[in-house]
Structure 1
Amino acid sequence: MQAELDHAGYALTASLTSSPGWWDCATRVGDDRRHVQTGLGSKERWFIMAFWERGVMMASGKTADLAASAGAIGLWQTGSRLRELQTTWPFVRFGELAEAYEHGDPVETKWKLYLQTQARHIDHDLIEAAYAQPRLRMLFPFTSHESLHLSRCTRFPFTHDLPGIFPLSDGTYRVISPNRVHIGHTDTPQEAVSLLIDHLPSDCGPAIDATATELDRSDSTE
Structure 2
Amino acid sequence: MISAAVEPDPIEPGGEDALAVALARAAAELGLELPEPAEVREGRVEFGVMDDRLVVVVQYRSDLRYRVRCRKQGAWLAYGVTGELGEAARAVAAWTGGADLEGTRAAAPFVGFNAWALDHEREPFDRVEVAWRAKIDLAGLPARNDRPYVRALLEAAHAQPRLRRLMPVTSHFMLWFSATVEWPYERVGYSVDPRPDGFVVRAGGKHVTTAATAEESVAVVVAHLPDEVGPAR
TM class by smaller structure:
0.5 to 0.7
* 1:50 equivalenced with 2:79 (yes/no): no
Q: 1:95-122 deviations in whole A, cap 9, x for unaligned?
A: 34433433435849849x69xx992335
1:62 aligned to which of 77, 82, 85: 82
Shift of 1:72: 1.7
Alignment of 1:117-156 (within 5 A): 119-121=148-150, 124=153, 128=156, 130=157, 133-139=160-166, 141=168, 143-145=170-172, 147-150=174-177
AA at the equivalent of 1:150: F
Give the residue type in structure 2 aligned to 1:161.
Answer: E
The percentage of counterpart residues that share the same residue type is 18
Q: Deviations over 1:158-210 (max 9, x none)?
A: 8732335134989762233xxxxx6x764474443333x2186x5x32x6xxx
Alignment of 1:1-150 (within 5 A): 1-3=23-25, 8-10=32-34, 12-14=35-37, 17=40, 23-31=41-49, 33-42=52-61, 45-53=64-72, 54-56=74-76, 58-66=78-86, 68-103=87-122, 104-105=124-125, 107=129, 110=133, 119-121=148-150, 124=153, 128=156, 130=157, 133-139=160-166, 141=168, 143-145=170-172, 147-150=174-177
Change in 2 beyond 3 A, CA 1:25/1:148: closer
Contact in 2 for aligned 1:27/1:39 (Cα 8 Å): yes
Quote the Cα distance in structure 1 between the aligned partners of 2:180 and 2:98. 23
Q: Given the superposition, is the C-alpha separation of residues 127 and 73 from structure 1 closer, same or farther in structure 2, using an over 3 Å criterion?
A: closer
- Gaps of at least 5 residues in structure 1 are 18-22, 177-181, 208-214, 216-222
Q: How many residues align?
A: 185
Q: 1:90 to 1:122 in 2, by over 3 A?
A: closer
TM-score (structure 2 length as normaliser): 0.56
TM-score in terms of structure 1 length: 0.58
Q: Give, in angstroms, the shift of residue 4 of structure 1.
A: 5.3
Partner SS for 1:121: helix
Q: 1:171 to 1:57 in 2, by over 3 A?
A: closer
CA shift for structure 1 position 89: 1.6
- 1:135 alignment partner AA: R
When the two chains are superposed, the root-mean-square deviation of aligned CA atoms in Å is: 4.5
- Would the aligned equivalents of 1:72 and 1:85 in 2 still touch at CA under 8 Å? yes
Match of 1:166 among 164, 178, 192: 192
User: 1:143 offset after TM fit, Å?
Assistant: 4.5
Alignment-mate amino acid for residue 62 of structure 1? T
Superposed displacement of residue 91, structure 1: 2.0
Q: What secondary structure does 1:60 align onto?
A: strand
1:139, distance to aligned residue in structure 2 (A): 3.5
Gaps of 5+ in 2: 1-22, 138-144, 212-216
Would you say the 8 A contact 1:59–1:94 is kept in 2? yes
